[in-house]
Structure 1
Amino acid sequence: MSKQVVFHIGGWSSCGFYSKASNVLASLSILFPSRLKVVDHKYGSRDEYRSWLIGTSGSGFRDTFGISKASNQTSSPFAWIESSDGGNSFVGGCDDTLAWCKDFCAPKEEGGEEKAVHVDDGHTKGHGYDYDLVVIGGGSGGMAASKEAAKFGAKVAVLDFVKPSPAGSTWGLGGTCVNVGCIPKKLMHNAALIGEILSSDTEPFGFTAPQALEKGHSWEKMREAVQNHIRGLNFNYRVTLREKEVTYLNKLGKFVDAHTLSLTDKKGKVSQITSSRFIIATGGRPSPLNCEGGELAISSDDIFSLEQNPGKTLCVGASYIALECAGFLAGIGVDTEVAVRSILLRGFDREIADKIGAHMEDHGVKFRKGVVPAKLEKNGEGKIEVTFSDGTKDVYDTVFAAIGRSADTGKLGVENINLKVNERNGKIPTKFEQTSVPNVYAIGDVMEGCPELTPVAIQAGRHLARRLFDGSTTPMDYKNICTTVFTPMEFGTVGYNEEDAKEKFGCGSYEVYHSSFNPLEWSLSEHRGKHPAFAKVIVNKDTDAVLGIHYLGPHAGEVTQGFGVAMKKGVTYNDLLDTVGIHPTSAEVLTDLTVSKSSGKSADAKGC
C-alpha cells in the first residue's frame, strides 16, 4: 500500500487561485483518505498570509521551515509536501498544485511502483557449477537474456533444439518469431499488399496494369526468398552469440535436478551440464486439431515453408494468426475459407474486429460461421474432405489449424524439480519471472499471464538478466503494450478496448472519440471507399487520461508504435488534441478526434 502523503497549502481566503487549488485537494483527500492528508494554512487577508509566509524581516515560514527552493515564492497559494524525515518538498503555486493533483489521481496499475525483488536463489560467485546461467530456448527472449547476462560477466549457455512439427517441419536458431511467426508472416502479408496495389491502384495513378498480373503469383519464388532471408538471420544469430561469448548448444535439455540438465543432440547422444541458474524460454507450439483425422492439418509451424502453393485452403480458427494467414493467402490469389466457431479476434475491440471481418469477406475470404471441423479424411485424389459440425462437407487441398498455442514444457522434466506448471496449457506461473523453484526463471510465451509477443519476451529477458547479474530491481512492465494484427487492413492497438474499459471502469466513466476516414493514398481508387480506415481513443472522463488507442488502416504498426510511447508516459486526450499532426498522413487523425460516440454524430470524416 502507498504511504500517505501529507500535503500543506497556504493562502488567503479571498484569493481565487488558493481557493481553486485547496478545493481540489480537499476533494481528493475525501476520495483517498488513506493516501492523502491535506493541512490547510488559511488566512483572512493577504497581509496576514504574507506575514506568515515571509515575515516582517523576510525570514518568515518560507525560510525557517527549510524550504530553500521556495525563496522566491511570495504569491498565493504556497504548497509543499511534508517529509517523514523532517525535510520538506516544495510543490509551488496553483498550477503546480493542480498538476500534482492530476498526477496523483491518474490511473496507476497495481504494483506499478513495486520493485522486483527475487526470493534468494542460492547463487554465489563460487558456486562450482559449469555455468552461471543456462537459457533453455534460443528464441528472441532467450537470446536477449543470454546476451544481456554475458554483458555483465556471467558465463552463459543457450540451448536451442527444434522438435519437428507433426508434419515434419523444422528450422534454425531464432525461435518462432524469426522462423515460423512474425518475420515470414509480415513478408507474405506484404506480398498480398503488393498484389492489391498492382490489381487495383495502378491505373488511377497513371500506370497500365503490369505484366506481373498476367503471369500471376509464384508461391515458389516467394517461399525461396523468405526462407533465404530467414536462413541469413539464423546465421547472424549464431555469429552474435559467439561474439557475445555465449555458448550455443544445439541440444534438447531436460532437468535432472534443480542444477543439472540432461542434453540430447540430434544424433541421440546424451550428456549433462550444470548451472547455478536457469531461464526457461521455450515459447509455445500450435495446439493440434482435436478431431478425427486432425493430424492431416498443418499449422503455422508448416505453412511458411510449404514447397508448393497450398491450393484451396481451409483456415480453422478466428485468432489473429488464423486471420493473418487467411488474409495473405487470399491476397495472393489462393481460394481461402475460414471456419469460425464463435467470434473473430476474441480479446480485441469488438467494433474493429467486425470491421476486419467485413473487409476480409469483400476481399475474397469466405467464412463458415458457427462451425468447427468434425472429421478430416483423405479422398482418392489426395485431397482432404472435411466434415463440419453442422453436417456440411467440402474438399480442400490444405487444412491449416490456428486454434491456439500451448507452452512447450512437456519434455523439460519439470516434474523432476517439482516446478509448478499449469496443467491446461503447460504455462509456468511466476513472480517477477521467478518460478516456484527459486533458481529457475521463465520469460516469454512460456510464462503464465505474459502477452505472447516477441518484443515482450526480449524486454523481459533483458530486465531479468540485469536483476540477476547487475543488481537491478526494475520489474518488467506488462501494461500498455502495443500490438498489430496484420490482416489485409492492418489493426494497431494499445491499452483498453471498449469492452474491457466498461468492465474495469464502469459504463459512463469513459468517452469514445472516433473517426472513419479515407487515407489520402486510397482516395483515387474506387474500390477502397467501401471499407474506410477507422480510429478511436477511449478517454477517462474524470482524469482525461487516454485508456486505449485503436487504429485500423494502412501501416498500423508504424502508426501505433509512436502513440505507444505516449501511453507509457500517461498521455491525456487534451495532449493528443494539442499535438500538431503531420499532414497529410493517416496517423494525423489521432490528433484530431473530436466526435464522441455519445454525441450520436457521424464519425465519417469530411475533407482533409
Structure 2
Amino acid sequence: MSILSIWNKNATLTLIRRSENYLKRSLSSATSHSYQYDLIVIGGGSGGLACAKEAVANGAKVAVLDFVKPTPIGTKWGVGGTCVNVGCIPKKLMHQASILGESIHEAATYGWEIPEQQNVKANWSKLTEAVQNHVKSVNWVTKVDLRDKKVEYINGLGYFKDPHTVVAVMKNKSEKELTAQNIVIAVGGRPRYPDAPGAIEHGITSDDIFSLEKEPGKTLVVGAGYIGLECAGFLKGLGYDATVMVRSIVLRGFDQQMANIVADSMVEKGINFIHKAIVTSVEKQKDGRLLISWKNTETNETGSEIYDTVLFAVGRKGLVEDLKLENAGVTSIADDKIVVNEQEQTNVPHIFAVGDIIKGKPELTPVAIHAGRLLARRMFSGSSQIMDYADVATTVFSPLEYACVGMSEERAIEKYGADNVEVYHGFYKPTEFFIPQKSVRYCYLKAVAERSGDQKVLGLHYIGPVAGEVMQGFGAAIKSGLTMKILLNTVGIHPTTAEEFTRLAITKRSGLDPTPATCCS
C-alpha cells in the first residue's frame, strides 16, 4: 500500500471518528438541553483561538467572543490578543530593529564601507508604521482563518447571564444572548498601573508603546520584569535614553544569578537603573514633559527627574471584572485570576479557563495555545491528555538575551538540598563578537543537575546571542530526561554558542575559574 493510500485511509478514519464523536455529543445534548453552540470561547487571544479552531476540527459548533477596551490614552487593536497586537510579535520586531542598529555600526569592522555611519539613526514613525502594518496583516489573516475554519467570530464583550448563557455586548451597546454546553474563558490580562497621582493620566504601558505616535524620547520604565527590561532594551538600542526603576528584584521568578547578569549587561549598554524605588507621582510640565517623583522603599529617601515618557510594567491584571462570574456560579477566583484543576476546569464542571487568566501557570503564548488545543481534544475527541506546565522554555529579549528551561538554581537547591545539586557553569566567547570587539564579559551559561547517578539535568540557563533559538532544542531534551552524561557526550556544532552546553566541565563546587582561554578551549 502506498504512503498516499495510507494517509488517505487514516484521514478518512479520522473524519469518521470526529463525526461519530459529534453525533454522540449532539444526541446526548438533545436529550437534556438544546444549546446554540457546543462551545463558546470568551477571548480572542492565542489560547482561545487555538481552542476554538481545534474544537471545530473535531466537529463542534463554536463561537468566539472578542472585544478590546481602549487603553487610557486610547490605544486599541484587532483580533489575536496580546501576543499578536501588543506583546510577543511587535516586541520581537522592535528588538530586531535595535539589533540591526547595532549591526550597522559593527559592519564597518568587517570591511563594509558605510558612509556617514555616525549619523545613522532610527526613524520612530517609520518603524512603528512597519510594525503596525505587520500586526494588521496578522489580524486580517486571523479573521480569514476563523471564517475558513467555520468558527463564528463575534466582536463583543462577553459576560455570564447564567451557567450556560453568555451575553455579548456589541460596539453599539446592544446585547446578544448565546447559549452553549461548554464555555472556555480565555480573556487574558492587561497591564496594571501603580497607585500614584498622574500615573494613569500621563503614563503608558506595553499596550501603547508599539504604536506610540511620538518618539518616546528619554524614558523611565517602571518595573524590572521581563516586559520592563525588554522595553528598556529596545528603546536604548533605538537611540533613546532609558532608565529602569526596580521596586525589589530584577526578573522575579527567574534564576537570580542570571537575572543580575542580565541587569549588569544592560548597565554596560548604557541603560540606567534606579533600585529599591517606587513612583509617588507623575506631573505634566508646561512643555509637555513629565516630572517623575519616587521614594526609596528601604530608606524613604526621595528623588525626582524629568522624562519625556514613563512606561509602567509593574505586572498584569487578569480580566475577570467584566465576566460577572457570580452569575455562572464560578467562585474559584484569586488575585484577579481563575483557579482551575489539571483539566483546566473551574468549580463549575462545564466552564473552563486557559491562558494568562488562570492562576499560577506560565503566562506565555505557546503555553496558552497548547493548553487550549489539548482542552478542545478532551472535550470533543475523547482525548485524556492534560497540559504539562513543567519545564517550559522561555526567553527574555533583553539586549543580550537570556533563555532558560527547567529549574532555577535556587529552586533546585530548595527542593533537593545544596548537597544534592551540582551546577556546571562557564563563560564563553561568541565568535561573532571578536572582530567588532564586543564585550563578552556577560556571555555565560549554566546547567543545574542532580549530583548523583548520571546527573539528571534540572535546568539550563543561557545568556548570549539568539538565546531563544539556542534553548528551543534543549527544551525538548529536558522533556526527554536529559542527563549531564548525555549532554557532555553530545558533539557540538562548531563554532556556535549552543555548543557551549556540551563543553561544560567546571562546577561551582570546584571553585575553578569558568573563563575559557580561547573560543575553542
TM over 0.5: yes
Q: Which residue of 1 aligns with 2:28?
A: 124
After superposition, the Cα gap between the structure-2 partners of 1:509 and 1:344, relative to the gap in structure 1 and judged at 3 Å, is: same
Q: Which residue of 2 aligns with 1:31?
A: none
Matches within 5 A, 1:467-486: 467-486=378-397
Of residues 452, 477, 486, the one that matches 1:542 is 452
Deviation at 1:124, TM superposition (A): 3.2
After superposition, the Cα gap between the structure-2 partners of 1:160 and 1:211, relative to the gap in structure 1 and judged at 3 Å, is: farther
- Name the CA distance, whole Å, in 2 between partners of 1:122 and 1:150: 14
After superposition, the Cα gap between the structure-2 partners of 1:448 and 1:210, relative to the gap in structure 1 and judged at 3 Å, is: farther
Deviation at 1:509, TM superposition (A): 0.5
Deviation at 1:420, TM superposition (A): 1.9
- Name the CA distance, whole Å, in 2 between partners of 1:421 and 1:552: 38
Of residues 63, 83, 96, the one that matches 1:157 is 63
- Name the CA distance, whole Å, in 1 between partners of 2:186 and 2:67: 12
Contact 2:164-2:328 within 8 A present in 1 as well = no
- Name the CA distance, whole Å, in 1 between partners of 2:153 and 2:123: 36
Q: Which residue of 1 aligns with 2:185?
A: 280
Secondary structure class of the residue paired with 1:527: coil
CA RMSD of aligned residues (A): 1.5
Deviation at 1:271, TM superposition (A): 1.4
Q: Which residue of 2 aligns with 1:438?
A: 349
1:255 aligned onto 2:160: yes
Secondary structure class of the residue paired with 1:526: coil
- Name the CA distance, whole Å, in 2 between partners of 1:433 and 1:216: 48
- Name the CA distance, whole Å, in 2 between partners of 1:211 and 1:276: 65
Q: Deviations over 1:430-474 (max 9, x none)?
A: 341011111100001001111000000000001000000000111
After superposition, the Cα gap between the structure-2 partners of 1:371 and 1:549, relative to the gap in structure 1 and judged at 3 Å, is: same
- Name the CA distance, whole Å, in 1 between partners of 2:452 and 2:149: 50
For the pair shown, the structure with the greater C-alpha radius of gyration is 1
Deviation at 1:212, TM superposition (A): 5.9
Of residues 510, 513, 519, the one that matches 1:602 is 513
Deviation at 1:277, TM superposition (A): 0.6
1:218 aligned onto 2:123: yes
Q: Which residue of 2 aligns with 1:413?
A: 324
- Name the CA distance, whole Å, in 2 between partners of 1:490 and 1:320: 11
Contact 1:339-1:369 within 8 A present in 2 as well = yes
Secondary structure class of the residue paired with 1:570: coil
Match for 1:277: what amino acid? Answer: N
Tell which has more relative contact order, 1 or 2 (C-alpha 8 A, sep 6+).
2
- Name the CA distance, whole Å, in 2 between partners of 1:262 and 1:254: 5
Contact 1:189-1:328 within 8 A present in 2 as well = yes
1:374 aligned onto 2:280: yes
Contact 1:180-1:301 within 8 A present in 2 as well = yes
Q: Which residue of 1 aligns with 2:305?
A: 394
Q: Which residue of 2 aligns with 1:301?
A: 207
Secondary structure class of the residue paired with 1:202: helix
Secondary structure class of the residue paired with 2:515: coil
Matches within 5 A, 1:66-465: 124-126=28-30, 127-199=33-105, 201-211=106-116, 213-295=118-200, 296-389=202-295, 390-465=301-376
Percent of aligned positions that are identical: 47
1:488 aligned onto 2:422: no
Contact 2:261-2:442 within 8 A present in 1 as well = no
- Name the CA distance, whole Å, in 2 between partners of 1:275 and 1:212: 61
Deviation at 1:605, TM superposition (A): 1.6
Contact 1:430-1:448 within 8 A present in 2 as well = no
How many correspondences in the alignment?
486
Match for 2:448: what amino acid? Answer: I
- Name the CA distance, whole Å, in 2 between partners of 1:542 and 1:465: 41
Match for 1:253: what amino acid? Answer: G
Q: Which residue of 2 aligns with 1:59?
A: none
Q: Which residue of 2 aligns with 1:503?
A: 414
Contact 2:337-2:358 within 8 A present in 1 as well = no
After superposition, the Cα gap between the structure-2 partners of 1:511 and 1:326, relative to the gap in structure 1 and judged at 3 Å, is: same
Deviation at 1:207, TM superposition (A): 1.8
Q: Deviations over 1:514-542 (max 9, x none)?
A: 1101100111122324x341111011012
After superposition, the Cα gap between the structure-2 partners of 1:205 and 1:278, relative to the gap in structure 1 and judged at 3 Å, is: same
- Name the CA distance, whole Å, in 2 between partners of 1:452 and 1:298: 21
- Name the CA distance, whole Å, in 2 between partners of 1:211 and 1:129: 68
Deviation at 1:341, TM superposition (A): 1.1
- Name the CA distance, whole Å, in 1 between partners of 2:437 and 2:120: 25
- Name the CA distance, whole Å, in 2 between partners of 1:224 and 1:237: 20
After superposition, the Cα gap between the structure-2 partners of 1:583 and 1:527, relative to the gap in structure 1 and judged at 3 Å, is: closer
Contact 1:122-1:439 within 8 A present in 2 as well = no
Deviation at 1:210, TM superposition (A): 4.6
Contact 2:161-2:328 within 8 A present in 1 as well = yes
Secondary structure class of the residue paired with 2:261: helix
Query: Any stretches of 5+ residues in structure 1 without a counterpart?
Result: 1-120
TM-score normalised over the length of structure 2? 0.91
TM-score normalised over the length of structure 1? 0.78
Deviation at 1:418, TM superposition (A): 2.2
Contact 2:79-2:142 within 8 A present in 1 as well = yes
Match for 1:275: what amino acid? Answer: A
Query: Any stretches of 5+ residues in structure 2 without a counterpart?
Result: 1-24, 296-300
Contact 2:342-2:387 within 8 A present in 1 as well = no
Deviation at 1:241, TM superposition (A): 0.7
Match for 1:184: what amino acid? Answer: P
Contact 2:38-2:62 within 8 A present in 1 as well = yes
- Name the CA distance, whole Å, in 1 between partners of 2:133 and 2:275: 37
Secondary structure class of the residue paired with 2:265: helix
Q: Which residue of 1 aligns with 2:4?
A: none
Q: Deviations over 1:172-216 (max 9, x none)?
A: 0000000000000000001111111222x2232112345565142
Matches within 5 A, 1:524-539: 524-529=435-440, 531-539=441-449
Q: Which residue of 1 aligns with 2:21?
A: none
Q: Which residue of 2 aligns with 1:68?
A: none
Contact 2:356-2:364 within 8 A present in 1 as well = yes
- Name the CA distance, whole Å, in 2 between partners of 1:392 and 1:122: 65
Higher mean C-alpha deviation, range 446-455 or range 417-426: 417-426
- Name the CA distance, whole Å, in 1 between partners of 2:288 and 2:86: 26
Contact 1:123-1:277 within 8 A present in 2 as well = no
1:566 aligned onto 2:470: no
After superposition, the Cα gap between the structure-2 partners of 1:212 and 1:309, relative to the gap in structure 1 and judged at 3 Å, is: farther
Match for 1:340: what amino acid? Answer: V
Contact 2:332-2:346 within 8 A present in 1 as well = no
Secondary structure class of the residue paired with 1:412: coil
